[in-house]
A and B are shown apart, each in its own frame.
Chain A
Amino acid sequence: MSRSKRWSRRRFLARSVSTVGGLAATTLAPRVGWTAASPTIRVGVIGCGGRGTGAANDCVEAGGDGVKIVALADVFADRLNNLKQKYNVPEQRCFVGLNAYKELLALSDVDMVILATPPGFRPIHFAAAVEAGKHIFAEKPVAVCAAGIRMMLEAAKKSEEKKLCVVAGTQRRHDPKYVETIQRIRDGMIGPIVSAQCYWNQGGLWVRKREPNMTDLEWQLRNWLYFVWLSGDHIVEQHVHNIDVINWAFGTLPDQVHALGGRQYRVQPEYGNIYDHFGTEFFYPGDVRTISMCRQIDKSAGRVSERVVGTKGVTTFDGRIRDHAGNVLWEYKGPSVNPYVQEHRNLLAAMRGGTYINEARQVTESTLCAIMARESAYTRQQMNRKWFMERCDLNLLPPPDLKLTDPVPVAPVAIPGKYQLAGLVQEKKGK
């Protein structure tokens, strides 16, 4: 199936999904979720791999006896076994298959869901969870394409209207060291921001080679990091954390982005069609330009951090703000907190009537920035956010009738100049 054919089919599907969503909202009464009267928050996990399992454990650690994992969904039965056993989830509340999320969301006694499947599915799952009136913990990123971003933004809006609580797995937003540093940036301690950098440089991650009995889709799902339609490429899947911090520090989004990237080291077929490095420049309002760099290359130098520079000072979010002479202006002295647990504490507290929290829009926006950077690298074209939101037709959303046995050819690795970004008319330049 050619890319454009797949795209046009998917665009149609995306439109129909939104339409159905809209209809559903008007015809179904919003579900009354967890109320303060209930003693226990009942949690369903959609996507029970490494991240879903981690999030479920963090949620339980955060909520103690006040939360219970009551339902599980995954495409593969073997993936939900760990959680099933650990939390004694009954067989009839464990759902398997590509539509398992629907069955779980149909359970009226589930108050909150953890969305932790490969991010390619997130917009669909998120929209469905909002329709079902569930509070949501959504792993990052929350989309991999323009259509997914639009679907997320629409669903995010709806979740706010329905007063659903949403927390995203960008845990730095819940780390007091970060929170307090950002507060001081807001208060003007470093002056206006004039420069910033963020990085996620590391070695390789796990990889699953294809086994003879695997269908296209099973292999891709089990090896999802390496397929753009599932993970969004590593800049979206992983580096979104750091991009999100820079957006947070600025309090706004970049207008433009220009990136270069490629697949230089990790070229074997088991690594699908993603790149292994990106070097990006983001342009924030006022022509403030920032560096973003990410790499997954074995044996290469690691660096995962963010740095923000103002006219009066600088921070690397290590709990200190310094002036340009290196003097410490402020130091975080509070307790060290596990942000992966804290984000669940904050979500549960909001659900229990604390300060309302809904991070859907903010995580969607940071996901958008990462996707724009990826597409800029794939095309080597400078991307304008307004253009991307209004004109980019990239749609990698899976069709609703997707079956595990469907042929899913691996799209070719993006070669700048050959790669076609839906909606972009490229001038012929250079070689």
Chain B
Amino acid sequence: MSTERRSDMNTRTSHIASHAAAAGAAGLAAMAVPAVHAAGSDEIRVGLLGCGGRGSGAVRNCLDADPSVVVVALADLFPEKARRLRDALMKDPKYKGRVRVPDDAMFGGFDCHEKLVKTDTHLLLMATAPAFRPWQMMAAIQAGKHVFTEKPVATDVTGCRLFIEASRLAEQKKLSIVAGTQRRHEFNRVELMKRIHDGAIGELVGGQCYWYGGGIWYRGYEEGMSELEWQCHNWYHFTWLSGDQVVEQHIHNIDVLNWCFNGPPKLFTAVGGRGVRDYSEQAKQVAAKLGKPNDWAKYNGDIWDHIVAEMEYPNGARCLSFCGHGPGTHRNGEKIVGTKGSSDCSGRIMDLEGKVVWQYQGQMVNGQLQEHVDLIRSIRAGSPLNEGVRIGESTLTAIGIRIAAYTGQSVSWEWLMKGSKNQLVPDPSQWKPGPGVFHPIATGADPLV
């Protein structure tokens, strides 16, 4: 089920599956962490927000990352998801004694994060649909929690700004924030990026990133849900909840290019649309169950199925972003091009003739485990690792592409940071069981807000 929440997991796994377990363990053994063996004060008490596929993956990664991690609180919009996860974790002999979640530390409802931040926890893992994350993050930072946050961290510009504000507050409070863009924690990429930043391929003058893949799940209506709850259950299909695929998924690849350039682009131009996504049959079933059989079209979702964008970076380099879901040739990856060579952004550097001049030969690690290892190490060492502003910027980069595509306008970074009033997520006071929030499918010439 992990593919449901983090649809890249299969791809990631297929790349490094054979290394994952061994390398993760080796990484731990090699880690110089003082006094982690005893219980008590050495424990890192963890709470999880969002107990779906990705949340249950993240909490396991966190447990695997360090033996002193204990899970003490679980929260989800749907409390039964939290219960199911607790049961599953407690049944796993690997985590014996480390899952200690009493009934009164299980929270449900749209305000479950508010209850979660009041628990006696060090670290919160955030893995709900991204729409709510900026507020969840602000609450967590204000409560003094370290945070692991899944990507993306917002779905609209206003949310990104709030997230970045929370991240800056975390800097002041010396809290760690690590984001689920696991490529940043893979040793091969880290070593490669050092070389790119040191000029191994010269000045960066071009690049490409891709995530064009197969379709996604569609979740039907379940008894007792309000329309909004069903929408949150089936969140990927609504831009205000997921950010659209460019934000929800392709952010991984966009983030790699931002990493190459050490910052976000300055200008976005994009085209795209919705040509093949069709969930009419499922949408009609949902409509029937909600008692609105004639109103089914909106349950089909509003996200697009393809966007092709150009991102222009501050040094003038123009890079391609290419993403979507549907039939045809599937692609996932990145390439960066410099005046002296190019790189696959994974572990190889080529000269201008295409000859491999450097290849990573060190240890491979599972990035989704390593990100937790790095986070816990930073907490333990008292030297916060704060990726908040960076993941906020990469989220905003992807949102910039989406806005450029939805409106047909070229959009600048400066305008995104200062001018845009783009806000899709309703105010938290509106987060309660009731009617859903529906926006029309973007036309490609929507007003720029």
Contacts and interface: CB of A to CB of B under 8 A. Distances in A.
Interface centre among B208, B214, B275, B352 (most CB of A within 10 A): B275
A301 B354 contact: no
A324 B203 contact: yes
Contacts of B390: none
A167 to B, nearest CB: 32
B329 A381 contact: yes
A431 B214 contact: yes
Interface string A187-204: 000011011010101000
Given A278-B271, A380-B326, A289 B320 contact: yes
Given A293-B269, A417-B326, A430 B318 contact: no
Interface in A300-314: 300-301, 303, 307, 309, 311-312, 314
A258 B318 contact: no
B322 interface: yes
A297 interface: yes
Contacts of B308: 259-260, 278-280, 293
A264 B352 contact: no
Contacts of A262: 272-275, 306
A86 interface: no
A301 B408 contact: yes
Interface string A272-300: 00001111110000110101011101111
B318 A195 contact: yes
Contacts of B339: 191, 194, 311-312, 324
Counting contact residues on chain B (CB < 8 A from A), the size range is 35 or more
B324 interface: yes
B214 A260 contact: no
Given A194-B339, A195-B337, A281 B330 contact: no
B362 interface: no
B271 A281 contact: no
A416 interface: yes
B67 interface: no
B316 interface: yes
Nearest to A194: B337
Nearest to B275: A262
Contacts of B271: 201, 261, 277-279, 293-295
A264 B442 CA distance: 8
A61 B193 CA distance: 58
B413 to A, nearest CB: 16
A307 B326 CA distance: 30
Contacts of B34: none
Contacts of B330: 429-430
Given A197-B310, A260-B306, A295 B329 contact: no
Contacts of A303: 269, 410
B335 interface: yes
A197 B310 CA distance: 9
Given A261-B273, A289-B335, A293-B310, 6 more contacts: A262-B272, A264-B304, A279-B272, A286-B353, A289-B206, A416-B327
- Please give me the 8 A-B residue pairs with the lowest Cβ-Cβ distance, nearest first: A279-B308, A380-B328, A300-B408, A431-B215, A195-B206, A264-B273, A430-B214, A262-B273
7 contacts: A279-B272, A295-B444, A299-B445, A312-B339, A382-B329, A417-B327, A430-B213
